[in-house]
A and B are shown apart, each in its own frame.
Chain A
Amino acid sequence: DADVTQTPRNRITKTGKRIMLECSQTKGHDRMYWYRQDPGLGLRLIYYSFDVKDINKGEISDGYSVSRQAQAKFSLSLESAIPNQTALYFCATSDSPGQGEKQFFGPGTRLTVL
């Protein structure tokens, strides 16, 4: 089984709709991240969480919110989707500094906002 899973894998929605993307991990990592990837722009950080009580904005948090329901779960919400939020979204986890720091990614969610 995959260590980091994302649901849904693909989603098409309309402008103005509320969308939630979910991420679960079995790696036991405290740190979780949400990124979006657009062609030619690379990965950009939306939000990150270093433990259940910690939520931090990333580079491009406007229009997004997150919830860290448990160590293993980190959800990303688009309260009112707009077309320029069409992108590939990745969830990632990492261990704490000193434990390797490597990031492990979920398979991605391809979101299209019409």
Chain B
Amino acid sequence: RKEVEQDPGPFNVPEGATVAFNCTYSNSASQSFFWYRQDCRKEPKLLMSVYSSGNEDGRFTAQLNRASQYISLLIRDSKLSDSATYLCVVTYYGQNFVFGPGTRLSVLP
């Protein structure tokens, strides 16, 4: 089993839709969690950290369920510019960041 798994995608959604991505991790000792965004042929960029109580940044909401070892990312009111691959990342006290394979999102006009 891979250490970090994500919805395989791709997700094709119309503008304005709400879309959710799921991520599961196998190492119960994982401490920190992140969502990164990667545009085609570009470097990954941090989208948001994921906190135990859940957190929101504009149209983006991240949630963490430690008991189920599950992370989610919700995007509301999707924009064309949200089209990208979304990477789930976990780490244990800064020891090796483990990246999921990514979920590709295409927002269609």
| Complex Cα gap A31–B49 (Å) | 19
The chain B residue sitting closest to A96, CB to CB, is B94
Interface residue A74 (Cβ < 8 Å from any Cβ of B): no
Segment at the interface with B among A14-22, A35-43, A62-70, A79-87: A35-43
Dominant SS at the B interface? strand
Least distance between B55 CB and chain A CB atoms (Å): 14
Which B91-107 residues sit within 8 Å CB-CB of chain A? 91, 93-94, 96-97, 99-102
Q: Mark B22-45, 1 if CB is under 8 A from A, else 0.
A: 000000000010100000011111
Given A101-B32, A101-B94, A42-B49 contact (CB < 8 Å)? no
Chain B residues with CB under 8 Å of A43's CB are 44, 87, 99
Q: Report whether A42 and B44 are in contact in the complex, using a CB–CB cutoff of 8 Å.
A: no
Q: Report whether B46 and A103 are in contact in the complex, using a CB–CB cutoff of 8 Å.
A: yes
| Complex Cα gap A93–B38 (Å) | 17
The chain A residue sitting closest to B96, CB to CB, is A45
Chain A residues with CB under 8 Å of B34's CB are 102
| Complex Cα gap A104–B94 (Å) | 13
Q: Report whether A105 and B44 are in contact in the complex, using a CB–CB cutoff of 8 Å.
A: yes
Interface residue A55 (Cβ < 8 Å from any Cβ of B): no
Q: Report whether A103 and B101 are in contact in the complex, using a CB–CB cutoff of 8 Å.
A: no
Given A48-B96, A102-B34, A40-B43 contact (CB < 8 Å)? no
Q: Report whether A107 and B97 are in contact in the complex, using a CB–CB cutoff of 8 Å.
A: no
| B residues whose Cβ falls under 8 Å from a Cβ of A | 32, 34, 41-46, 49, 87, 89, 91, 93-94, 96-97, 99-102
CB pairs A–B below 8 angstroms (28 shown):
A31-B94, A35-B99, A40-B101, A42-B87, A42-B99, A42-B100, A42-B101, A43-B44, A43-B99, A48-B96, A58-B96, A88-B41, A90-B43, A92-B97, A94-B94, A97-B93, A101-B91, A102-B34, A102-B49, A103-B97, A105-B43, A105-B44, A106-B43, A107-B42, A107-B43, A108-B41, A108-B42, A110-B41
